[in-house]
Amino acid sequence: MFFRPSTLASVLLMLLLLATTSLGQSGSFFNQRDDTYRLLGLKRARQVYEAEKSELERTEQLHKEHLISEVELEQARARFTDAEVNYQQSLLAVLFEEQYVTVAGAVKYQADDGSKHVRLTVANSSGGSAEFRKLIEMEDELFRSLQPDIVNNVYVSLLNDNGAIVSQPYEAKIDMLKYGQPVELDFALLQDLDAINVFLVYANGSQRNMKIWLQKDESVDRVLVQSEQFSQEVELGESALFDLTLELFSGTSNTFSLEVVNLTPKIGRYFRDGAGSARLSQVKFTESARAKQAALSVTLPDRPDGEIRMDESIPFYVLVVPRDLTARIEAHRDRDWTEEEIKALNVGYVKLELVPRGVGELRVRLPQLYHSIDSDSAAQMTLTVRNEGSHTIDNIEVEADLPLNWIHEITPDRLPSLDIREEAAVQLSFVPPAGIAPGKYEIRLRTSGISNGQPITADDKTITVEVKAETSVTATILIALLLVAVAGGIVVFGLKLSRR
């Protein structure tokens, strides 16, 4: 049996097509290790894709020459489409697996309004495009269209150790994060922390949660000072304690002096360690301790004067000064500094306020607590009320707890006010009821008033009144005459005895 040359050539081409088709099918055989070694799986998928692409081109040429049927052409196109999809899936899997977002910087600083902020720098550290090209030698349009050097939809939140969001805004979004182009975000801290958890969600749902110790903004070159109890009311003669939080934002100095300005010398003051009772005049920061706790204790004198007025606030400042400025502050410590002058020093400071508050103290004096009266007379006395406190006392009243049916009179019945160290006299009169039995009766005096909105009471006084029994005048005269007669009889009898 003989074949014509054209027929023989057609048969050979068909056999070659079947061989290459078998090769392409065997090349697309799935290897279960491709899911483990994604880069090698991508290389395999690309080789199959290139083989099927070449095969499709040859099949299209044979179809043009009418050497194969339309069915065979469609089969080749289907195999190419499968290889292309497999290649794209492998490429996407590698790209998403290798995408990596990190935090390049986290700097804590204080804004002009005193709020704490964090400047967070987020970077795309994937950098996988060069490695992918080198491994699989790809420069094709598909690879470039997938933008392997871009991470889309990056969500950033700041959390505390309990997982609660502690920043404003609660969550920031970066639509596109390019490799080599980090993005800076600004968060206001709702909770003052030195370490935060940065929670990242990006790409196809990848997540990262990193705990980061915040850097301090050294560009301000000073210590920031805060006090939660910046305004306090203190009674005269008492002390107040202002808590101070010191944070170092400096890269040049680490030792600072603590100073107080605009506070009269009549008010005692000293700094002490926040964790103990040791007194401080300077603080030193280290790399591991860039935040410290301290306290300022101030003591008011016992009495107000021209510089310390009741209920009038006394503003003053606490400064944290580098050692090279300490001498300048000490030389002008007695003058009044304005806030603009303090700002010009570029030092850390906090404005505090002290409000002197006094309270009255009632003292009651009675020269005699025991009285003896007849049943038809009255017990009268003078009560002295004195203000020994540090504030005016108003609406002073003296009240008496009397025995049954007794009558009393208090003049005046109310004192409008008593200034500091002022005293006033109150007249008291107590009358027993008619027919009262002889004996001792107790009367309790209570004195009260209002000072600076607070009720004030003095020590109670107890008066004992003795009511004497009634005596008859006639009986008294008869007894006296009887005594005189007895005495006269004794004298006469004595004279008679002496004459014998």
DSSP 271-295: EEETTSS-EESEEE--SS--EEEEE
- In sequence order, what E strands does 323-422 have? 348-357, 362-365, 370-374, 379-387, 393-401, 407-411, 414-418
Of the listed ranges 111-115, 431-435, 479-483, the least confidently predicted one is: 111-115
What pairs with residue 118 in β-bridges? 108, 187
Of 16-25, 71-80, 132-141, 405-414, least confident by mean pLDDT is 16-25
Looking at residue 137, its pLDDT comes to 53
Q: How many CB atoms lie within 10 A of CB 402?
A: 16
Task: Check pLDDT > 90 for residue 449.
Answer: yes
| Strands 461-468 and 370-374, bridge-based pairing | parallel
Higher pLDDT, 192 or 334: 192
What whole-number distance in Å separates Cα of residue 68 and Cα of residue 80? 17
Amino acid, single-letter form, for residue 66: H
Give residue limits of the domains in the chain. Answer: 5-98, 101-216, 220-357, 362-468
Mean pLDDT of 295-319: 86
The whole-angstrom separation of Cα 144 and Cα 146 is 5
Question: How far is CA 470 from each of CA 66, 381, 438, 439, rounded to the nearest angstrom?
Answer: 157, 23, 8, 12
Q: What are the distances in angstroms from CA 288 to CA 119, 194, 242?
A: 21, 12, 25
Decide if pLDDT at 1 tops 70.
no
Strand partners, 337: none
pLDDT the model gives residue 93: 63
- Domain covering 101-216: architecture: Sandwich (2.60)
What is d(CA 294, CA 258) in angstroms, rounded to the nearest whole number? 10
What does pLDDT average to over the chain? 81
Closest to 246 measured CA to CA, from 118, 350, 107, 354: 350
- For residue 436, pLDDT over 60 is answered with yes
Q: What are the tens digits of pLDDT across the range 63-105?
A: 888 888 888 888 888 988 888 888 777 766 666 556 788 899 9
* Biggest alpha carbon–alpha carbon distance for the chain: 212
Q: Is the pLDDT of residue 25 over 60?
A: no
145-180 core/surface letters (b: 16 or more CB in 10 A; e: else): eeebbbbeebebbbbbeeeebbbeeeebebeebebe
Tens of pLDDT, residue by residue over 375-384, are 889 999 999 9
Query: Can you give the pLDDT at residue 53?
Result: 86
Indicate whether this model's pTM tops 0.75: no
> Residue 140: exposed, middle, or buried by beta-carbon count in 10 A (0-12, 13-18, 19+)?
middle
Q: Tokens at residue 261, please? A: 């300005």
Q: Do domains 220-357 and 362-468 have the same CATH topology?
A: yes
Question: 220-357: what fold?
Answer: Immunoglobulin-like (2.60.40)
d(CA 77, CA 70): 11
Given this structure, which CATH class describes domain 362-468? mainly beta
**Chain centre distance of CA 342:** 26
The listed range with the strongest mean pLDDT (90-94, 220-224, 422-426) is: 422-426
d(CA 2, CA 206): 68
Residue 17 has a pLDDT of 41
Distance, in Å, from the CA atom of 116 to the CA atom of 220, rounded to the nearest integer, reads: 14
CA distance 495 to 464: 52
Q: Supply φ then ψ for residue 368, to 5 degrees.
A: -145, 130
Q: What is the pLDDT of residue 333?
A: 73
How far is residue 301 from each of residues 148, 206, 333, 360, 422, measured CA to CA in Å?
A: 73, 65, 20, 15, 19
Could you read off the pLDDT of 392-420 as tens digits, one per residue? 899 999 999 999 999 999 999 899 999 98
Q: What tokens appear for 198 in the block? A: 């940065």
The region that residue 147 occupies, defined by phi over 0 for left and psi between -120 and 50 for alpha, beta otherwise, is left
Span of 302-316, 444-458, 467-481 with lowest mean pLDDT = 467-481
391: exposed, middle or buried (Cβ count in 10 Å: 0-12, 13-18, 19+): buried
Mean pLDDT on 146-173: 88
Kindly indicate the confidence band of residue 180, based on its pLDDT and cuts at 50, 70 and 90.
Answer: confident
- The residue behind tokens 């799935």 is 30
pLDDT at residue number 14: 45
Which one has a higher pLDDT value, 212 or 290?
212
Residue 111 confidence class, pLDDT cut points 50, 70, 90: confident
